[in-house]
Chains A and B, each alone.
Chain A
Amino acid sequence: MNYWKEDFLSYKLHVISTKKFKTTSIKIVFSAPVVKEEITFKNFLADMLTYSCKKYNTEKKMSIALQDLYAMNIFPRCYRVGKLYNMEIGASFLNERYTDEGILNDAIKLLSEVIFNPNIENNEFNTTAFDFVKLNTRNQINSIWENTRKLSLIRMLEYMDNTKAFSYHGFGYLEDLEEITPTNLYEYYKKVISSSKIDIFILGDVSADEVKKMIKENFKFKTYKMKKNDLITSHDKIRKIPKKIIEQARISQSKLSIGCKIEDMDDFERNYVLPMYSMILGGGSSSKLFKEVREKNSLCYYISSSASKLDNILFITSGINFENFDKTIKLIKKEVKNMTLGKFNEEDLDVAKTQYITMLDEIEDSPFQIMSSYYSVEMLNYDELDIRKEKTKKVTLQDVSKLASKIHIDTIYLLKGAE
């Protein structure tokens, strides 16, 4: 696999040449500091841009154009990364070997239509498309109420500290949705196009030269250079006694979410020790939480922990019966305490390392994961894949114990179901 990168000032182009896949994949990332009130705007915009464009100005015409390119797929994705909120336009299509000649050029041209020629009339987005996407965005925001597991997690983070980026979620907010109009969304589009940090990734059986030429011909970005932003959230205070909240919902299974705040870490702790800690504590069926709460005590079907590196947070989620709330909390607290007491061994750490390194190995079999890993190097200062595998192996039991003493249960939230 060959990796080539060039900075064109208003955007960076990354080309990964490989014959490994039967498809060519593209990822265009627009990155900017997260602003809570803009999350809904950005989600909406991403959906609008990929729904239809000026050249193919209905969903039907757009779908036909994509199908004609052998079922090319264009999809939007918006997500938070630390203190950034990204809008991503992804695309994938078959290699020329299985299609007609010139598909790479056609695909890039179509993408440029999507990005640079949106469905605009009289300085506002086409109102039919706008209304359709607005309704779907509303439904998407409301779907949070049907995903009680996710809802519990979001509520917990809001109670933990609603001034921090980690309490913002990507579903979107109804109050912000009501503010969006076809006109101000067009203004927002112009702002995003001209002021985001833009990275373009292409992966497939392509040469850097041919791609560079096609991108330069079709993508005319005029972006101001964005200054490098701080991504990491630090905590103002860590509660000595965890805050406990119970809220009622009309569900049968209660959803528990526990948030732990982590004191400031150095890069090695954040990128290498923290994932090991989380895997040992609650990273799957060999973990302490799974064994104790599910296997030994039959208190739940799912329980896991997850670390959010850039937010300095670790959270634990589980689905339980309300009557087992106190017992479950007690067991979880005990396991977290056991981590600080070093009650895990070399075998636990080896299993965690093997799992993590296998996860890194698996990246090589997925075009989009490969592109994401290069993005992480570019944007998040991650090490390259090979170095990540090496450094993971170097984590010691002592490293994990030391980190454990920096992790404190801060907020306990229960979305309470039937008794």
Chain B
Amino acid sequence: MKEIVLNNLDQSVFVENLDNGLKVILIPMKNKGNYYANYTSKYGSINLNFKCNGKTYKSPKGIAHFLEHKMFEQPDGGDVFDYYSKTGTECNAGTSYKKTSYYIYGINNLKENLDYLITLVNSPYFTDENVEKEKGIIVQELKMYADDPDWILSETLKKATYKNHPIKYDIGGYEDTVNSITKDDLYKCYNEFYKPSNMVLVVSGNFDLYEILDVIKNNEALNSRKDKSEIIEVKEKEPLEILKQYQEILNPSVTVPKININFKISIKDCKDKNLYMLYISALLSILFGNVSSFNEDMFKKGYASYVDCNRMLLDDLLIIEFYAEGEKPKELLNEIIKRFKDEKITEEELNRFKKVSISSNVINSDKSQNIAECILSDYLNFNTIYEDRIGIIKSMNFEEFKKIRNELNVDNNATVFMKKEE
């Protein structure tokens, strides 16, 4: 087991790679009564097509999410939620674009609860009957989201942004694709993507390091998983071009018009994506955050009353997304582009960002769930656990910042404008 001392955070992380390929990350914390365990597969809604027995298999959209629901099925009919309720432990799961996570959060009985979780995730049990039953529940879940104007807005923008990339599909799939799923589909995808070598287990909070490592190593269901074969995904190239630059849609529930914009940027030649994303975060904070006057300016001009932005890595693409409430999408877009290109940025502003970023790291390191998720996120995105995140932040320099800013190409963008349907 390897110890990584997190610099300036009064915290260590312990890492062990098991023989079957599972990566185990343990974060014992002082002063905590609770614990958090997260068992994640690097399998999300975007992992659709892969080589199976020499042929390309195209899985039904929404299957990763369906699989997540079915993992809770047990051959003896026992109820997972029942089991965890007995000790007042919270258990839940979630599927996102790039991963599926199963987690528990509680105060008592970690050893038994963790053992149960590991067994659960390594013991698939799908039958025609239990697959059929789940369809009704999932379709209701899809309908719940389908009433949300923000969800509709986001789906429309994704379709305008991506030609081939599976991120454009809804994570849960669609009513017809969900209804088409069979138990064979589920086993196929499970066997491929739930191999221990494609998974990671993180435990943080109040626990004894060696006791918990033993529980993990001695779990029978996990030990029975021997397949370490390579996963060969079949991906279509995603062109840089946007599909639809501007569109307007109507919605009966919305009261304030909404604007959603994506910038699609190539970062093929980027060597250190982690550091690059830090600089991008700094740029967005300085140009569009509360310390800029962007919100107030857009309000005064009557373009938008609320503007928020985010950034995401997608293979060799950087996606910057803006969400705003307002009536002038084209004017807003022009203002955003103007800021990206012309707005003055100072070293003082970068230094302030660094201060804030360091604070976030310290604050996150104080909560079991937060620190586990940060470490997990670094590992999933960059295949690294950084021992000196604070040092990396401190190393950001103004020259490099200006260079990245100048080279950023924001001409490739898509806008969706949602108005109230009368």
Contacts and interface: CB of A to CB of B under 8 A. Distances in A.
Contacts of A139: 255-256, 305-306, 325
The 3 closest A-B pairs by CB, nearest first: A358-B88, A285-B81, A298-B136
A286 interface: yes
Contact of A70 (B305, B325, B355, B368): B355
Interface string B267-306: 0000000000000000000000111110110011000011
A417 B33 contact: no
Contacts of A377: none
A417 B147 contact: yes
**Which of B85, B150, B256, B368 has most chain A Cβ within 10 Å?**
B85
B290 A59 contact: yes
A71 interface: yes
B144 A68 contact: no
A60 to B, nearest CB: 5
A253 B143 contact: yes
Interface stretch (A17-25, A34-42, A219-227, A270-278): A17-25
Contacts, number: 154
Contacts of B352: 64, 67-68
Contacts of A131: 299
Contacts of B138: 301
B356 interface: yes
B293 A359 contact: no
A301 B355 contact: no
**Which of A67, A68, A417 has most chain B Cβ within 10 Å?**
A67
Given A71-B360, A71-B363, A365-B33, 8 more contacts: A60-B296, A64-B291, A71-B355, A252-B146, A253-B143, A300-B140, A355-B85, A362-B33
Contacts of A251: 147, 253
Interface stretch (A108-116, A142-150, A188-196): A142-150
Contacts of A302: 144
B362 A22 contact: yes
A178 to B, nearest CB: 16
A354 B366 contact: no
Interface of A: 19-23, 58-60, 62-64, 67-68, 70-71, 94, 98-99, 128, 131-132, 135-136, 139, 142-143, 145-146, 148, 249-253, 284-286, 294-295, 298-302, 319-321, 350-351, 354-359, 361-362, 364-365, 417
B293 A252 contact: no
A146 B253 CA distance: 6
Given A139-B306, A253-B140, A67 B291 contact: yes
Contact of B144 (A64, A143, A319): A319
A65 B242 CA distance: 40
A240 B138 CA distance: 36
**Which of B79, B295, B355, B362 has most chain A Cβ within 10 Å?**
B362
Interface in B118-168: 133, 136-138, 140-141, 143-144, 146-150
Nearest to A347: B86
A71 B359 contact: yes
A253 B147 contact: yes
Contacts of B253: 145-146, 148, 249-251
Nearest to A131: B299
Interface string B328-372: 000000000000000000000000100110111011011110000
B140 A286 contact: no
Nearest to B368: A365
Given A351-B85, A417-B147, A358 B255 contact: no
A294 B356 CA distance: 45
B54 interface: no
18 contacts: A58-B293, A70-B355, A70-B356, A70-B359, A71-B355, A94-B362, A98-B362, A135-B305, A143-B256, A148-B147, A252-B143, A253-B140, A253-B147, A295-B79, A301-B137, A350-B86, A358-B107, A365-B34
A252 B147 contact: yes
Nearest to B106: A358
Nearest to A52: B296
Contact of A22 (B86, B290, B363): B363
A22 B88 contact: no
Interface in B88-129: 88-89, 106-108
A59 B296 contact: yes
Nearest to A295: B79
B59 to A, nearest CB: 23
A339 B370 CA distance: 39
A258 to B, nearest CB: 18
A358 B144 contact: no
A286 B299 contact: no
Given A22-B363, A98-B362, A143-B255, A358 B87 contact: yes
Contacts of A321: 140, 143
**Which of A23, A146, A148, A417 has most chain B Cβ within 10 Å?**
A146
A364 B306 contact: no
Contacts of B149: 146
A249 B252 CA distance: 9
B255 A285 contact: no
